Amino acid sequence: MAAAATILELDPSHERAGRVIDDIVRLEKRIFPKHESLARSFHDELKRRNTGLIYSTSGVGDDEEVAGYAMYTCATSLCASITKLAVKESCRRQGLGEALLQAAVEKCRRRRVQRVSLHVDPARTAAVALYRKAGFQVDATIEGYYSAQRNAYRMYMDL
């Protein structure tokens, strides 16, 4: 799918933006535990300066829906964060996550950011493998990042 994946940037003024955001919020609720989900604050996150959202769709016409998305924030000229990366279960293992990750990193590169970082649960082995394949390295393990019993790897890539 990576070769055929069309990556779009959310344009909040586009007539379909509301539908795209609704699809993303539904995916967010399905994929992430409640305390990790941005579903409730998604609209606020999108309003933040230097935050971008890219996505890909599957299906055609009225059946078209979001297949995956990535959110990133370029906090300073030195560092950016990938705050979310998710792919619908039925669309996984087809290269879409890799395409979204590459597109998000490229958006940061165009802003001349020097380092991109992210956090990931070490138990999400497919995600960790994806990030490593893309060139991210583990910087540290953050104890209790997600909850008392769930740590996170802080990973980074220098551009």
Q: What is the pLDDT of residue 3?
A: 42
- Strand ranges of the sheet holding 65-73, from the earlier edge strand across to the other edge: 8-9, 51-58, 65-73, 79-87, 115-120, 150-158, 137-147
Q: What is the pLDDT of residue 1?
A: 41
pLDDT range class, residue 36, cuts 50, 70, 90: confident
Q: 155 is written with which tokens?
A: 């990973």
Q: Which whole number is the average pLDDT over 89-96?
A: 92
Q: Which whole number is the average pLDDT over 99-120?
A: 95
pLDDT range class, residue 2, cuts 50, 70, 90: very low
CB 116 within 8 A of CB 159: yes
Q: What is the pLDDT of residue 4?
A: 55
Give one word for 93, left, alpha or beta, with left for phi > 0 and alpha for psi -120 to 50: left
Domains and CATH numbers, the chain: 8-117 (3.40.630.30)
CB 57 within 8 A of CB 63: no
65-73/79-87 β-pairing: antiparallel
Q: What is the pLDDT of residue 95?
A: 94
Please provide the distance, in angstroms rounded to a whole number, between the alpha carbons at the two ends of the chain. Answer: 25
